[in-house]
Amino acid sequence: MTLMTRSNFPSQISSMFIGLDNFFDDLDLLAGFHEPKYPPFNLIREDADHYSVEMAVAGFAPEDISVTSKNGILTISAKSEKNDATKDRDYVYRGLSSRSFEQDFKLYEHVTVESAEFNNGVLKVKLERKLPEHLKEQTFPINITKQLKS
């Protein structure tokens, strides 16, 4: 099986997608994509313009978590402060991890972070796509002109 990249994408098809150069670059990046394992998260489409990221952050306090957005990248990270109380414990099994992490998510044009909420060990980051008026679908009336008879 051959992976199709931007360099070998048929020119007839790529010419139909004017302005989506970043899309093809992102597809190239996905070829080397590995799915992050920690912490687990959900990506949810609420409707056409609203999305959310839910991330399981059990073991972290809200003040340990950072949500930032810069240059089209949403970054969610947390620093694990090793607690003296947990350091002296002798764990038989440790299934709840609270190690430091950083997750990046690509935000496409016109998608912004609206809010971040922490509830019962789950961080929910709400995203909204705000298209400018000139990019929204427009319907134009068709005028009928009278033809002159000769």
**The CATH fold of domain 36-85+93-132:** Immunoglobulin-like (2.60.40)
Which residue in this structure is represented by tokens 């995203």?
Answer: 127
Half-sphere exposure of 114 (CA within 13 A, CB side): 13
The tens digit of pLDDT for each residue in 50-85 reads 999 999 998 889 999 999 999 888 999 998 776 555
The tens digit of pLDDT for each residue in 98-143 reads 788 999 988 888 889 999 999 999 999 999 988 888 877 888 899 8
Burial per residue of 16-51, b for 16 or more beta-carbon CB atoms within 10 angstroms, e otherwise = eeeeeeeebeebeeeeeeeeeeebebeeeeeeeeeb
Sign of CA dihedral 12, 14, 19, 21: negative
Q: What is the predicted pLDDT for the residue at 18?
A: 46
How many H helices and E strands in the chain? 3, 7
Q: Model's pTM, two decimal places?
A: 0.63
Mean pLDDT of 18-36: 56
User: Between 107 and 9, where is the model more confident?
Assistant: 107
Write out the residue limits of the CATH 2.60.40.790 domain(s) in the chain.
36-85+93-132
Q: What is the predicted pLDDT for the residue at 32?
A: 54
Chain CA centroid to CA 87, Å: 35
